[in-house]
Amino acid sequence: MRDRYSICTHQPSVGQAPPYKEKDMPRGDKSKYTDKQKRQAEHIEEGMEKRGMPEKEAARRAWMTVNKIHKGGEKPGGGGYGKAEDKSVYRKGGQKGGRARARKSQSAMGGARKGARGRSSER
């Protein structure tokens, strides 16, 4: 019975490796990523670790985010070469931060009373 997740559609000859094995890059190879992408992943990873996420999980999620934005490495031969950036990740982060800010009570943000007159209402 054939494995339903098998990539190769034909049986290789005895002693011969399947044809797709030779072309694949090893997992974790970052040679097709630009310096900017590597810095970006590092920055995202640091932020996640700062919030208490385990190091391995933070690194995994950071590279997932970079891949979502750039669709892979942007150097020639990489999957994201010549493709536009997907900015939805930035928008989502901004919306999350905005919602969190709106939920904070006024007292936690400096003691301003609800409905208090300030400079903006004096004009």
pLDDT in tens, 78-122: 777 777 888 888 887 777 777 777 777 555 666 555 565 666 655
Distance CA 28, CA 3 (A): 25
pLDDT in tens, 78-90: 777 777 888 888 8
Q: What is the pTM of this model?
A: 0.54
Contact predicate 89/61, CB 8 Å: no
Determine the angle formed by the axes of helices 55-70 and 88-103, rounding to 10 degrees.
120
| Tokens encoding 77 | 């031969």
